[in-house]
């Protein structure tokens, strides 16, 4: 509505009552009924009818990766190009090294893993503990779990309530039963007699040997713990990235170099340092993931409302300069000159507009630093029939810090030879391992449907607009929240003056 749209609000069928109350409050506050309609019902009935209706110009979805794929495929069958903003699940991890404060780690692990019965998309699923402290921290977590009270959430004494419904409970109990056979150890909070009536799941800790034992997100109060050697930190980060999910990540360390190293390599939308990983605040920690965790833009971020309009994206950011490697544009400029292509103006504009060249300090409470920065999506497929059109796609991809994937044909090989290290070739770009595709030419609708048929992360097909390609859609937003008091005090407070 803030972007000038009317809204059809379709909640999850399990939350229809609270959603109806929220819509009623908005109507009472003055939102016209014609601008906001409430449509409860099952997803496969109401949701399917909405996404298949040509009058629906955009869908904002929060839920599982699998349902997001279904919606994406439905929208791809249409002849227009409706907007899809999806915020999906996460295999959210936290890495704790031997310098961390154990008491704070335990507090943050419990709130991240078990608050709301683990039913937050940002909740902690996987905890990596450095070998040197693992025994002590695991013992402390188990002791803290024994103090949790599971029961009626209406009582102030309750720490953990029920899961959403019987189907969710059954799925979690089935996962727990499977893990009992393979996990190294298990610990559970005891349930009282009152939990026999209701959809309760005991907070559970499993110690496992390998992250590959988890095939998908476990949406509930189940924490999986792995041990790692300090020398294997890069391997741990690579394992987490390899899951394909990229929503939230936690770091507990008092070593600045370790924090910076992980932040520079982990591929997630929201990183939290020396604090819990739940409870993002709009305007302070813009929220949303990448890969199998969502499409972007971030809720509460500078691009979100633009995605819901047909206006040019011109975010007004209180930005600070940031170092950016745009050497690929230098190589492209030389290659374009050698091939007689007119790219100087486009490259100059791309350098100026590149989101990589700035970051944004966000407001927050005393003792917490929050920063929004931008990074390339990864690998961008470029499909065009002529050299000039393909070169314009390369400008956009490189300005956003990406590598390009081109068709293995004469045109593609010509660019690849001149742009060594910045370009790779594929027999079919639409079947290649890419994070987005820039497309110029006929059969765009067929290409969109082919990309939507994939499993895994949603891969957008992006067409050229009146002013070229939207470079903002070729980056991911990364929000970093740091508890500056965790390392023994907030030194910045000592330098504050009136």
DSSP secondary structure of 173-237: HHHHHHHHHH-SEEEEPPPPGGGGTTT----EEEE-S-GGG--S---SSEEEEEEE-GGGHHHHH
DSSP secondary structure of 266-312: ---SEEEESS-S----TTTS-B--EETTB--PPBTSTTHHHHTSSS-
Report d(CA 379, CA 443) in Å as an integer.
22
Report d(CA 167, CA 116) in Å as an integer.
17
Q: What separation, in Å, do the N-terminal and C-terminal C-alpha atoms of the chain show?
A: 41
Judge whether 279 and 302 are in contact, CB under 8 Å. Answer: no
- What tokens appear for 481 in the block? 């929240």
Report d(CA 344, CA 188) in Å as an integer.
63
Mapping DSSP to helix (H, G, I), strand (E, B) and coil, where does residue 249 land?
A: strand
- What tokens appear for 50 in the block? 């909405």
Judge whether 219 and 119 are in contact, CB under 8 Å. Answer: yes
Strands 204-207, 368-376: parallel, antiparallel or unpaired by DSSP?
unpaired
Judge whether 232 and 131 are in contact, CB under 8 Å. Answer: no
Judge whether 185 and 206 are in contact, CB under 8 Å. Answer: yes
Helix (H) or strand (E) holding 361: strand 358-362
Out of 66, 103, 121, 368, the active site residue is 121
> How many helices (H) and strands (E) would you count in the chain?
15, 22
- What tokens appear for 489 in the block? 């005090």
Out of 13, 87, 257, 466, the active site residue is 87
Other CB atoms closer than 10 Å to residue 230's CB: what's the count? 11
Question: Which of these, 402, 401, 407, lies nearest to 439 by C-alpha position?
Answer: 407
87 is catalytic: yes
Count of residues in the chain: 498
Helix (H) or strand (E) holding 140: helix 131-146
What amino acid positions are annotated as catalytic residues? 87, 121
């Amino acid at each position: 509505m803030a972007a000038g749209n009317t809204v059809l609000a379709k909640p999850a069928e399990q939350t229809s009552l609270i959603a109806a109350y929220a819509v009623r409050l908005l109507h009472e506050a003055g939102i016209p009924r014609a601008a906001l309609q409430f449509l409860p019902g099952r997803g496969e009935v109401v949701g399917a009818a909405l996404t298949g209706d040509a009058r629906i110009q955009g869908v904002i979805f929060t839920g599982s990766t699998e349902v997001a794929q279904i919606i994406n495929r439905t929208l791809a069958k249409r002849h227009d190009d409706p907007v899809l903003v999806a915020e999906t699940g996460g295999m959210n991890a936290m890495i704790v090294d031997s310098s961390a404060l154990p008491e704070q780690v335990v507090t943050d692990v419990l709130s991240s893993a078990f608050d709301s019965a683990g039913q937050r998309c940002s909740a902690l699923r996987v905890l990596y503990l450095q070998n040197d402290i693992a025994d002590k921290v695991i013992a402390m977590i188990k002791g803290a779990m024994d103090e949790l009270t599971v029961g009626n959430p209406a009582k102030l004494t309750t720490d953990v309530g029920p899961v959403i419904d019987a189907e969710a409970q059954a799925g979690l109990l089935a996962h727990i039963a499977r893990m009992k056979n393979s996990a190294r150890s298990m610990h559970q909070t005891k349930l009282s007699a009152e939990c026999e009536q209701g959809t309760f799941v005991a907070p559970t800790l499993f110690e496992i040997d390998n992250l590959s034992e988890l095939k998908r997100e476990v949406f509930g109060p189940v924490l999986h713990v792995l041990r790692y050697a300090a020398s294997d930190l890069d391997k741990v980060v690579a394992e987490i990235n390899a899951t394909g999910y990229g929503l939230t990540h936690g770091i507990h360390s008092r070593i600045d170099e370790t924090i910076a190293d992980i932040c520079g390599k982990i591929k997630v939308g929201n990183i939290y340092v020396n604090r819990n990983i739940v409870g993002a605040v709009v305007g302070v920690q813009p929220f949303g993931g990448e890969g199998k965790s969502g499409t972007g833009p971030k809720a509460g971020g500078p691009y979100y409302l633009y995605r819901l309009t047909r206006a040019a994206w011109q975010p007004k950011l209180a930005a600070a300069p940031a170092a950016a490697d745009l050497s690929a544009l230098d190589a492209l400029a030389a290659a374009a000159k050698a091939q007689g292509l007119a790219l100087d103006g486009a490259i100059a504009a791309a350098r100026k507009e590149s989101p990589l060249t700035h970051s944004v300090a966000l407001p927050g409470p005393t003792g917490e630093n929050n920063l929004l920065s931008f990074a390339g999506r990864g690998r961008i497929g470029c499909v065009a029939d002529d050299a000039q059109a393909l070169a314009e796609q390369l400008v956009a991809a490189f300005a956003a810090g990406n590598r390009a994937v081109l068709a293995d044909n004469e045109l593609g090989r010509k660019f690849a030879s001149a742009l060594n290290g910045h370009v790779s070739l594929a027999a079919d770009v639409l079947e290649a391992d890419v994070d987005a595709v820039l497309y110029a030419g006929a059969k765009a609708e067929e290409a969109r449907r082919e990309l939507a048929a994939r499993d895994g992360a949603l891969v957008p097909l992006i067409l050229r607009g009146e002013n070229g390609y939207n470079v903002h859609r070729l980056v991911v937003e990364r929000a970093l929240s740091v508890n500056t008091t965790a390392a023994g005090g907030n030194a910045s407070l000592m330098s504050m003056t009136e």
